[in-house]
Structure 1
């Protein structure tokens, strides 16, 4: 698989309140590493550019870390910080709690990019996932305005202001692990014979 000429950011700046402990440290099944390591590997397999990790406000700075500039800014802040850094037209994003996303997703999304497309994301008839997506650099100003605002804005409300394309994918790719029950279900499904 040819790697795409984009940078990427793993969105790992959440507080994991529903999980009860940092999701990124959960051990990924069948691999020697965590959810964070897995997400970084997915992006490094798919992309030829730099991979950053988005971290919460107050985290020590590092070359491969993008620290939120305001507390409780949400995932849009991680995307905004990546868009500030990348020289490429699109930034690939992947939330750390989406363990079913394969590297080939980004090549599929890239086929739908273009001058008039702000965000390309995967979805099914019942769910979309803009936190495993390609975001165009043109969205930077909107995200800057939203993240500087007095209240947290839902990502779905931001998408409503943008030109988007949804690419159909298998529902198993969009599994989200926010709670211990969702994590246990993911582990059970991962262990089940295919």
Structure 2
């Protein structure tokens, strides 16, 4: 069964003030933590980013941008763009702004994956972009984007989806799944 990692790094980072993918924590760019968490469980990985950021990533990683027809339409467009670029049975999705994510956590998520989509929730807060998507979801994503619907959870609601409590994946879910949206949040991390 082929597994592709999808690292989403296309956000505008308005609250952060600069591209979050390249912000650093303990000397490493944020995107590296997500990349390292995906490597042990994925056959291939692709980073989906904005056109102006594409050249900022090293040549050693595969980087793409949104499909032209869905450019700038958010995370769903990024997931679909990766699915169109690399054929696989399932796609493990991570955002670039979780510098506390670990490979063991993502391995466990993949092991617990059932149905069409598995995503993480932490004490009622949903993290739909820390997820595993089966390839059969692709037509639903494409249709949603054609209809102008960018909501990830809209697509999830149309499929056999499960929400896995973060505490099942790690002893520190509130830290591990923290989205860092401002430099101050990183300091408090």
Shared fold (TM-score greater than 0.5)? Answer: yes
Q: Distance in 2 between matches of 1:105 and 1:85?
A: 26
TM-score by length of 2: 0.82
Instruction: State the Cα distance separating 1:124 from its structure 2 match.
Output: 2.3
- 2:5 touches 2:42 (CA, 8 Å); kept in 1? no
1:37 is matched with which residue? 32
Select the residue among 123, 139, 142 that pairs with 2:140: 142
Structure 1 residue 22 corresponds to structure 2 residue 25:
no
2:169 is matched with which residue? none
TM-score by length of 1: 0.80
Select the residue among 46, 50, 56 that pairs with 2:44: 50
Deviation by residue 1:55-101 (Cα, 9 ceiling, x = unmatched)? 12566588811211234210111111122233321101110012222
Instruction: State the Cα distance separating 1:40 from its structure 2 match.
Output: 1.2
> Mean alpha-carbon deviation: is it higher for 14-23 or for 152-161?
152-161
Structure 1 residue 66 corresponds to structure 2 residue 56:
no
Aligned length: 177
Q: Distance in 1 between matches of 2:143 and 2:2?
A: 27
Select the residue among 106, 124, 127 that pairs with 1:126: 124
Structure 1 residue 100 corresponds to structure 2 residue 94:
no
- Higher helix content, 1 or 2: 2
Q: Secondary structure at the match of 2:32?
A: helix
Gaps of 5+ in 2: 167-172
> Mean alpha-carbon deviation: is it higher for 69-78 or for 132-141?
69-78
- Higher strand content, 1 or 2: 2
